[in-house]
Amino acid sequence: MDYRRIKDQDKEQDAVHDDIESLRGKPLSGSANSMVMLGGSSSVQSKWKRKSAVTLALTVLTSSQAILIVWSKRAGKYEYSVTTANFLVEALKCAISLAALARIWRNEGVTEDNRLSTSWDEVSVYPIPAALYLIKNLLQYYIFAYVDAPGYQILKNLNIISTGILYRIILKKQLSEIQWAAFILLCAGCTTAQLNSTSDRVLQTPFQGWVMAIVMALLSGFAGVYTEAIIKKRPSRNINVQNFWLYVFGMAFNAMAILVQDFDAVMNKGFFHGYSLVTILMILNHALSGIAVSMVMKYADNIVKVYSTSVAMLLTAVLSVFLFGFHLSLAFFLGSTVVSVAIYMHSLGKLQR
């Protein structure tokens, strides 16, 4: 539902954007010039609206994703093979991108920007994020030799810092001093919000564990920043084409993961063994979240993505109080306060640049 709403909005605003772009191509008289300026300001506004809409969608989807995970855990252990579910997520995202494209082709015809066929040059970079995520996911099995699961949740907050650093280095975008301070606060605040009585064990993580956690954070940050670089490289290119190519390689890598990890299980028990309603909802949610991430990369950036998923984490905790009768800890309130100040500072830093 959310996704469709965004898609529609997206299309409307793409149309506005196209109008301005087509105007820019024409020789400008004085009045046309002022029209462009008017168009420019409404374009800024519509861009802001689109950015807000995709960010909101990502926050809501990520938050409900976590809720579904808690729900599925409460229902019992994972019965299905995770690799098949991951494959289906990629396949579903591919299908949705194709469906969106079909509609665009019907309405607007096939153009240079929305045609699916592509050059080797354009497509050659698309497997890289998928490959990076695959390596990260493989490492995930090994890190548990050094860190327990709650400790890993804590260490995952290193992603925030690695994303900030790689965003700066690779995309060469500046963050103001206040925004850097805000980013450190975001990391500290998220970690604080997740503190519990066993969290201190993470301080006993051996050296190898720290190295792996940092490598994983760098891989994850690099994959995110690299995806943004790919998607932003050609702004006029239709996002659904870009998504299609991203997800095709996602499918391929996940098919490989099925072969390596779960081939026997799939052969003996069947592809859909252990699937339940929650599993299907989770696949649906992951697919929509994935598309929302791509859109945030296209219309906003990795920094917005990090803030969005951080807020989703806090939102999940609050929702869990109502849904599962969870208790919020003092650490959660303190962490949320710090995250709120971080968001405020980030926006303040933006104004001052």
- 195 forms part of the interface with its own copies (CB under 8 A): yes
Amino acid at 52: S
Q: How far is the CB of 328 from its own copies (least distance, A)?
A: 8
Q: Of 192 and 302, which has the nearer Cβ to its own copies? A: 192
- 147 forms part of the interface with its own copies (CB under 8 A): no
Query: What separation in angstroms does the CA of 179 have from each of 40, 303, 346, 348, 349?
Result: 27, 10, 5, 8, 5
Q: Which of 89, 154, 239, 258 binds its own copies (CB under 8 A)?
A: 154
Q: Of 32 and 328, which has the nearer Cβ to its own copies? A: 328
Q: Any alpha helices (H) in the chain, and if so which ranges? A: 2-25, 30-75, 82-108, 120-123, 127-143, 149-155, 158-170, 177-193, 207-233, 239-261, 263-269, 277-299, 302-324, 330-352
Angle formed by the axes of helices 82-108 and 2-25, nearest 10°: 40
- 197 forms part of the interface with its own copies (CB under 8 A): yes
- The span from the CA of 332 to the CA of 309, in Å, is 16
- The span from the CA of 59 to the CA of 36, in Å, is 33
Q: Which stretch binds its own copies (CB under 8 A): 99-107, 178-186, 247-255, 308-316?
A: 178-186
- 200 forms part of the interface with its own copies (CB under 8 A): yes
Of 341, 334, 316, 335, residue with least CA distance to 326: 316
Q: Which stretch binds its own copies (CB under 8 A): 15-23, 33-41, 138-146, 337-345?
A: 337-345
Q: Which stretch binds its own copies (CB under 8 A): 53-61, 120-128, 224-232, 327-335?
A: 327-335
- 337 forms part of the interface with its own copies (CB under 8 A): yes
- 331 forms part of the interface with its own copies (CB under 8 A): yes
Q: Of 81 and 192, which has the nearer Cβ to its own copies? A: 192
- 177 forms part of the interface with its own copies (CB under 8 A): yes
Do 131 and 253 meet the contact criterion of CB atoms below 8 Å apart?
yes
Q: How far is the CB of 199 from its own copies (least distance, A)?
A: 5
Residues contributing to the site for its own copies (CB under 8 A): 154, 177-178, 181, 184-185, 188-189, 191-192, 195, 197, 199-200, 202-203, 327-331, 334-335, 337-338, 341, 344-345, 348
